[in-house]
Amino acid sequence: MVKAHQHRLPPEDARNAAREVRARRLRAFLFVAPLLAFITFAFVAPIASMLFRSAYNPTVADLVPDSLQALADWDGEARPSDAALTQFAIDLKRLANDRTSGQLAEEVNRFLPGTSSVVKSTARQLRRVEDTTLADTGATLLLEANAAWSEPGIWRALRKAGQTYTSSYYLTALDLEQTRDGSIQQRDTKIYLQLYSKTLWMALIITLLTLILGYPLAFHMAHSSTSHANFLMVFVLLPFWTSLLVRTTSWIALLQTNGVVNSTLMALGLTGDPLEMLYTQFSTIIAMTHILLPFMVLPLYSVMRGIDPSYMRAAMSMGSRPIPAFLRIYLPMSLPGLSAGALLVFIISVGYYITPALVGGTDGQMISNIIAFHMQQSNNWELAAALGSLLLFLIVALYWLYDKFIGAGNIKLG
């Protein structure tokens, strides 16, 4: 608007108008700036640092820079030169005395399993050797300490671990590996791809279950009087507002071996022995369906409330049978709510952690649980970061679809 009129204004007024626009834009921005700075520090930078870490690991490069230098022009085929071996022996002695040889062992072990003990035992043996002796006969001492050092394999692993920027964690996260000639191939055992597909599969089942349960409920609510619908809404919102831990606790109480469900089934004579339901994929799916059901009902209800019931009445009064009338008229009209609810439930369940961790047992674990495992137990933070980044890309792609087809503005609260 302002621009269109500018050429008609005297230059002085045009300058004032432009200044006023700049001032207003700046004033609006200044209101947002504090929060923007806060979110950048508290949230965006942490996510960025995780993305960075998934491809960046300077540990080995910082521990043995000289050895890596000496290995730089090794062809990777036969044993490296004696000079390189000697340099490594000197580095390893220093690490042993700094008590950092364990770190090196752990890093190299990731690229060639079984080498952790080789590095550790050699470090122990070299710890007490004089510097001058080491400089003269380091290569021999290293080979004497462990025969594994004559193999090129361990040196290749060391050189690989020494790369500061690496795609190797992403390759691992996708069950791929790099062969010696540099080509990329599938690993024999597919751990992570299987876990990703299991996670997506479980999320899909949960989405379908919430849809099957949520659709009739939302339909009934949308076609009740306002006061009755508001009353029923309390039963949807109360679980929605109740702590996630409370709802997971309930399912443990219900599904455990001598829990409420088993006692009821046995009292009714439906089963002689208690069923093992807790700590399985079944318990994860049923608990998550319960927890995520409100996310399906709320968007469905808000869309269905806006559908004029006279369309269905018109179709049926003109002789259409209920099911074709529903499929051809009502279902397409409720599709925006259906797809919003389905994508919301799917996106949330793909990244779920707490419920699978508590009721999932071993076969109910999802991708989030393995990320937590690598963060807390195996301490392979880089692999956790790579797995997390892949999950993040997946979520962003799903969210992009959501925004493109439904519009993110449709998210409603309570």
* Binding to other proteins, residues 229-258 (CB under 8 A): 232, 234-239, 241-254, 256, 258
Question: Does 361 help bind other proteins (rule: CB under 8 A)?
Answer: no
Distance CA 336, CA 47 (A): 31
DSSP state of 147: G
Which residue, 183 or 225, has its beta carbon nearer to other proteins? 225
Cβ–Cβ < 8 Å for 363, 281: yes
Question: Does 17 help bind other proteins (rule: CB under 8 A)?
Answer: no
- Binding segment toward other proteins, per CB under 8 A, in 18-26, 96-104, 164-172, 179-187: 18-26
Q: Which of 97, 263, 271, 379 binds other proteins (CB under 8 A)?
A: 263
| Interacting positions 75-94 with other proteins (CB under 8 A) | none
Distance CA 143, CA 137 (A): 10
Encoded amino acid at 372, one letter: A
Tell the smallest beta-carbon distance from residue 224 to other proteins (Å).
9
Q: Which of 160, 177, 399, 410 binds other proteins (CB under 8 A)?
A: 399
Q: Phi, psi at residue 160, to the nearest 5°?
A: -65, -45
DSSP structure string for 87-104 = HHHHHHHHHHHHT-HHHH
Q: Which of 11, 113, 216, 269 binds other proteins (CB under 8 A)?
A: 216
Which residue, 115 or 262, has its beta carbon nearer to other proteins? 262
Distance CA 54, CA 31 (A): 35
Distance CA 410, CA 336 (A): 10
Which residue, 34 or 114, has its beta carbon nearer to other proteins? 34
Number of chain residues interacting with other proteins (CB under 8 A): 91
Which residue, 210 or 281, has its beta carbon nearer to other proteins? 210
Task: Mark 48-67 with x for binding to other proteins (rule: CB under 8 A) and - for no binding.
Answer: xxx--x--------------
Q: Which of 47, 184, 331, 401 binds other proteins (CB under 8 A)?
A: 47
Q: Which of 63, 108, 157, 221 binds other proteins (CB under 8 A)?
A: 221
Give CA 387 to chain center in angstroms. Answer: 6
Whose structure tokens read 């799903």?
Answer: 398
| Interacting positions 288-347 with other proteins (CB under 8 A) | 290, 293-294, 313, 316-317, 319, 322, 347
Residue 382 CA: distances (Å) to CA of 51, 153, 232, 303, 374: 9, 22, 48, 44, 9
DSSP state of 168: H
Which residue, 152 or 239, has its beta carbon nearer to other proteins? 239
Which residue, 152 or 259, has its beta carbon nearer to other proteins? 259
Question: Does 351 help bind other proteins (rule: CB under 8 A)?
Answer: yes
Tell the smallest beta-carbon distance from residue 315 to other proteins (Å).
11
Which residue, 48 or 331, has its beta carbon nearer to other proteins? 48
Distance CA 358, CA 287 (A): 10
Distance CA 282, CA 263 (A): 18
DSSP structure string for 179-194 = -TTS-EEE-SS-SHHH
Distance CA 334, CA 304 (A): 6
Structure tokens at 300: 């469905």
Which residue, 26 or 184, has its beta carbon nearer to other proteins? 26
Q: Which of 329, 339, 354, 410 binds other proteins (CB under 8 A)?
A: 354
Which residue, 148 or 296, has its beta carbon nearer to other proteins? 296
Tell the smallest beta-carbon distance from residue 303 to other proteins (Å).
17
Nearest to 296 by CA among 205, 397, 395, 217: 217
DSSP state of 163: -
Q: Which residues have a Cβ under 8 Å from the Cβ of 46 and sit 6 or more positions away?
A: none
Q: What dihedral do alpha carbons 399, 400, 405, 408 form, nearest 10°?
A: 60
Distance CA 313, CA 294 (A): 28
- Binding segment toward other proteins, per CB under 8 A, in 35-43, 84-92, 163-171, 185-193: 35-43
| Interacting positions 136-165 with other proteins (CB under 8 A) | none
Tell the smallest beta-carbon distance from residue 346 to other proteins (Å).
12
Tell the smallest beta-carbon distance from residue 171 to other proteins (Å).
19
Tell the smallest beta-carbon distance from residue 217 to other proteins (Å).
4
Q: Which of 171, 211, 217, 229 binds other proteins (CB under 8 A)?
A: 217
